[in-house]
Amino acid sequence: MKKLFQQTASHLKKSTARETKVTLYPASCVMLEGSGLALARIGGRKVLVEAAKTEGDLSADFQGRVTTATGLAVKQCDLCHAHADALRRALTWTAPISLRDRQTTIGCGDRLGRATPGHIRAVRQFGVAPVLAQQSIRELNLTGRSYQNVVDDVTFLVFQEGYQDGFGADGDHLKTLADINVAVDAGMAMITLDLSETMLAAAENWDAARIEAAFAELPQAEQTRVLAAYADRSFDVEGATIAIPALEAKRCAVMYLKAMDFALEVYRLLQKRRGNAFDLEISIDETKAPTLPAHHLFIIKELLHRHITVSSLAPRFIGEFQKAVDYAGDLAEFERQFAVHCGIARNHGNYKVSIHSGSDKLSAYPVIGKYTRHRVHVKTAGTSWLEAVRTVADCAPSVYRDVHRKALAFFPEALKYYHVTPKLDNIPALDSVKDADLPALMDQADARQVLHVTYGGILRDPTIGPRFFAALDAGEDRYYEYLERHFVRHLTALGLPAAK
């Protein structure tokens, strides 16, 4: 097998211009039935390469230009959707799967379709299962990608890295059946159902009269059931007592019952389309008020009442989980409430507690690791993008300077999509920063936040976008190193033991 790939590499070198660099990614080299398959970089371009003794031995599933030499036929194939599909059929470990039976999972949102090898190198050290493809509709709109692009990019990079331990793909923060269908079409095996719009969040602050009136509108049978199940009852969860006064039970019914019925619709859709090979996450984190333990308990009991299997659930925790910076809030109170949330999850099917905007919340990680006992899903979204920016600052300072200026100019627009509160005055004036100090701007909280949310403007800029990608691709190995270091830091802070 080794010999075939050595021959292939030298064949490719001979058939390309002398100054063009040719690399076969060593971890990608695998044998199919009568041929070998690998991922190669030829100059600035990645291709799938299939090689065999004769042209007749090459698979019909991959299409491309064939060149031959004595005893060798080599085909170069584009990284297109048809070939991603063919790869997933030939090597099933390049397709996303359900991770519901895996203990610890980490969401590695990758806005650029380039970060996967760095993620894999980090999770391998801890035996954690990665959700390598994870994007929200908001991110797709801002980057001009589709769910199909997202999954296909990951398929090729999982192949590049030869990672066969299984990974997830998360259609993140989806709110409609139409969007969920698109994500499932693309092969996403995890759906994060965002209930922030189907629930009636405003009822959180309604007075008793208004709650009573709204509750009286519900079907009589539902009223009776809810009152019997919750009103003036208290529930013991690992030593903590969660009391639900009658008014609070009615409030929960008004706030959540419609959303629970929608969750059932989504669950049935997923079962119809994927059997049991999916993960459903319920997310109520994008609301103004923190999720009270009583509400979390009500929600999971109602989901179980509808026979919905939940893989993970994301409450809104107290304090601020702002993008790209550490946890801000009362850590002692966070710990007290977090312990109860974890107890609820353990006692109701042992689903994972999901931490959104989980990157960089390092001061809260010991608490998160301790109370979940590592049965947890931690999502990170823009943090891999920031490591890409760091790489460009390191490898191509002049490109970074344009990126930085664009980020500041685009920031007011980005505030339409994201809630962050950096102090712009704290960001050093760009002209005063030496090239060698540019990467360290990614350690400065205010600069981090600005760059975190302005990716849409940067990537879609007709001059800056292509230069950014070219610089990042030239610094590919450096990018993987930065990512690995960054994710290892997170997984270590969770208290995870090293893989055996």
Q: For residue 176, which amino acid is it?
A: T
Report which of 421, 417, 404, 394 is spatially closest to residue 480, judged by C-alpha positions.
394
Nearer Cβ to Zn ion, position 39 or 314? Answer: 314
Supply the minimum distance, in Å, between the C-beta of residue 140 and Zn ion: 15
Supply the minimum distance, in Å, between the C-beta of residue 351 and Zn ion: 16
Residue from 172, 302, 360, 394 carrying the catalytic annotation: 172
Tokens 């590695």 identify what position?
108
Q: Which of the stretches 134-142, 338-346, 356-364, 432-440 binds Zn ion when contact is defined by CB under 5 A?
A: 356-364
Binding mask 235-274 for Zn ion (x = CB under 5 A): ----------------------------------------
Between CA 326 and CA 21 the distance in angstroms is 41
Inter-residue contact 109 to 133 (CB < 8 Å):
no
DSSP secondary structure, 141-172, as one string = HHHT--HHHHHHHHHHHHHHHT--S--EEEEE
**Which 207-236 residues touch Zn ion, going by CB under 5 A?**
none
Nearer Cβ to Zn ion, position 319 or 397? Answer: 319
Q: Which of the stretches 37-45, 279-287, 369-377, 488-496 binds Zn ion when contact is defined by CB under 5 A?
A: 279-287
Residue from 139, 248, 281, 446 carrying the catalytic annotation: 281
* Interface pick for Zn ion out of 102, 296, 341, 356 (rule CB under 5 A): 356
Catalytic, 101? Answer no
Supply the minimum distance, in Å, between the C-beta of residue 335 and Zn ion: 21
Nearer Cβ to Zn ion, position 179 or 285? Answer: 285
Nearest-5° Cα angle at 451, 283 to 117? 70
**Helix axes of 383-395 and 116-123: crossing angle, nearest 10 degrees:** 110
Tokens 């509709």 identify what position?
137
Supply the minimum distance, in Å, between the C-beta of residue 484 and Zn ion: 25
Between CA 39 and CA 14 the distance in angstroms is 18
Q: Which residues contact 69 (CB under 8 A, 6 or more apart)?
A: 11, 14
Catalytic, 172? Answer yes
Helix (H) or strand (E) holding 355: strand 352-355
User: What is the CA 388 to chain-centroid distance, rounded?
Assistant: 16
Residue nearest to Zn ion (CB): 356
Between CA 400 and CA 447 the distance in angstroms is 13
Strands 279-283, 312-314: parallel, antiparallel or unpaired by DSSP? parallel
Nearer Cβ to Zn ion, position 135 or 155? Answer: 135
Supply the minimum distance, in Å, between the C-beta of residue 173 and Zn ion: 6
* Interface pick for Zn ion out of 285, 302, 387, 446 (rule CB under 5 A): 285
Nearer Cβ to Zn ion, position 173 or 251? Answer: 173
Q: Is 281 in the site for Zn ion (CB under 5 A)?
A: no
Supply the minimum distance, in Å, between the C-beta of residue 322 and Zn ion: 12
> Residues with catalytic annotation?
172, 281
**Residues interacting with Zn ion, by CB under 5 A?**
285, 356
